[in-house]
């Protein structure tokens, strides 16, 4: 690409070219066959100089070669100059045309890339559960159960955001407690729906669920057995439930302790499963002969894994139910809103983490 097009200024006036491009034109001219230039029949030389129009070939066409012959030498130069201008103009038009063509192609390509990016983002939405498109990689489409879960979870997150916004509006409006209760019921049910989805997905691929690939990075970092840790959730919620009656405070404190004990027990059970799996696979002689019995024995543990994830979700469900039983509708609504916003913040944080990683790369 010659310099002229990269410095293209959108103007029809050829005279506004930078000097460097003029140099280029002169160089081009030398290579030209003089015969290609249209016949020089200009009369009004002065105005021709002044009128630096791009399209010099549209100049007045007159007959008189006689005039030229009389003042031949300077006229020759002028004619040659004009011919060169025309040639330059022609080349300029050609380059402009080529440049515009290139722009059109780039625009098309950009549109295609944007569509592709949007499509990948949609998948990232389902896979990452958020805008964190830094999470690629899991080929969930090879497992239809997981692919279905990813789709459903993406929708669940969108619905969750909408329900949260509606709940916020309801809380700040002049709504009666009984109506607020129905918002709370609906919000809780939405979380229970997620647990049901997870149960189905666990049967399809429990390791996928445990890996947290379907959640954003911040959510996964803070997770416990495939989801939020109930006792931690209580800790997050408590300040937002104030003011609390003493009895409520006591009950919630007891609930938190019970959660911690239950979580502890499940964690140790999972640790035992971990050990058991390792021992089972390593049993017998490593490095010799068939190991099918060991593999088969380990396969049985798959069901246990599924049960553990189910137990963790059961604990989450029970915790949410217990919390709401101890609260007034307004307190429960505030708690639910706080919960939703907490997770939304984690999802947003993950997006920022991902984009900051991309920028620094």
Partner 1 sequence: MDKVQKISSENGVVIFSKSTCCLSYAVHILFQELGVIPYVHEIDRDPEGKEIEKALSRMGFNGPVPAVFISGTLIGSTNEVMSLHLSGSLIPLLQPYRPLN
259 binds partner 1 (CB under 8 A): yes
210 binds partner 1 (CB under 8 A): no
278 binds partner 1 (CB under 8 A): no
- 282-321 binders of partner 1 (CB under 8 A): 300-301, 304, 307-308, 311, 314-315, 318-319
125 binds partner 1 (CB under 8 A): no
Nearer to partner 1 by Cβ, of 114 and 300: the residue is 300
Nearer to partner 1 by Cβ, of 205 and 251: the residue is 251
Q: What b/e readout covers 159-190, taking b as 16+ CB neighbours within 10 angstroms?
A: ebeebbeebeebeeeebeeeebbebbeebbeb
CB of 310 to partner 1, least distance (A): 9
199 binds partner 1 (CB under 8 A): no
Angular region, 229: left φ>0, alpha ψ -120 to 50, beta rest: beta
324 binds partner 1 (CB under 8 A): no
Tell me the site size for partner 1, rule CB under 8 A. Answer: 27
Among 47, 264, 295, 296, binds partner 1 (CB under 8 A): 264
262 binds partner 1 (CB under 8 A): yes
Stretch that binds partner 1, among 86-94, 99-107, 194-202, 269-277 (CB under 8 A): 269-277
User: Per-residue contact track with partner 1, 218 to 257, x per CB under 8 A?
Assistant: ---------------------------------x--xx--
Tokens 């691929």, residue?
205
User: Per-residue contact track with partner 1, 37 to 76, x per CB under 8 A?
Assistant: ----------------------------------------
Among 121, 272, 296, 357, binds partner 1 (CB under 8 A): 272
279 binds partner 1 (CB under 8 A): no
CB of 124 to partner 1, least distance (A): 35
* Chain positions contacting partner 1, by CB under 8 A: 251, 254-255, 258-259, 261-262, 264-266, 268-270, 272-273, 276, 300-301, 304, 307-308, 311, 314-315, 318-319, 322
């Amino acid at each position: 690409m010659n310099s002229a097009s990269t410095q293209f200024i959108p103007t029809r006036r050829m005279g506004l070219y930078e000097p460097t491009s003029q140099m280029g034109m002169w160089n081009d001219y030398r290579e030209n066959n003089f015969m290609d230039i249209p016949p020089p029949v200009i009369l009004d030389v002065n105005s021709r100089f002044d009128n630096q129009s791009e399209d010099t070939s549209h100049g007045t066409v007159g007959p008189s070669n006689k005039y030229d012959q009389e003042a031949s030498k300077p006229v020759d130069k002028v004619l040659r100059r004009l011919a060169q201008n025309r040639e330059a103009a022609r080349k300029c038009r050609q380059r402009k045309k080529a440049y515009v063509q290139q722009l059109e192609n780039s625009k098309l390509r950009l549109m295609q890339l944007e569509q592709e990016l949007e499509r990948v983002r949609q998948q990232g939405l389902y896979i990452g559960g958020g805008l964190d498109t830094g999470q690629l990689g899991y080929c969930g489409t090879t497992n239809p159960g997981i692919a279905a879960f990813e789709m459903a979870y993406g929708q669940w997150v969108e619905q969750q955001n909408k329900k949260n916004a509606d709940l916020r509006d309801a809380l700040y409006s002049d709504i009666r407690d009984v109506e607020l209760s129905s918002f709370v019921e609906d919000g809780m049910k939405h979380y229970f729906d997620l647990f049901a989805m997870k149960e189905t997905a666990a049967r399809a691929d429990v390791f996928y669920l445990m890996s947290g690939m379907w959640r954003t990075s911040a959510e996964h970092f803070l997770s416990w057995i495939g989801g939020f840790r109930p006792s931690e959730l209580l800790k997050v919620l408590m300040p937002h439930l104030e003011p609390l009656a003493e009895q409520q405070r006591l009950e919630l404190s007891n609930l938190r302790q019970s959660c911690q004990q239950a979580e502890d027990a499940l964690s140790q059970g999972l640790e035992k499963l971990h050990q058991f799996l390792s021992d089972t696979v390593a049993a017998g002689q490593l490095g010799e002969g068939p190991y099918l019995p060991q593999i088969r024995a380990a396969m049985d543990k798959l069901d246990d894994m599924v049960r553990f994830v189910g137990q963790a979700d059961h604990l989450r469900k029970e915790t949410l139910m217990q919390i709401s039983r101890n609260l007034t509708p307004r307190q429960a609504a505030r708690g639910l809103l706080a919960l939703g916003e907490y997770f939304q913040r984690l999802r947003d944080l993950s997006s920022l983490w991902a984009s900051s990683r991309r920028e620094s790369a």
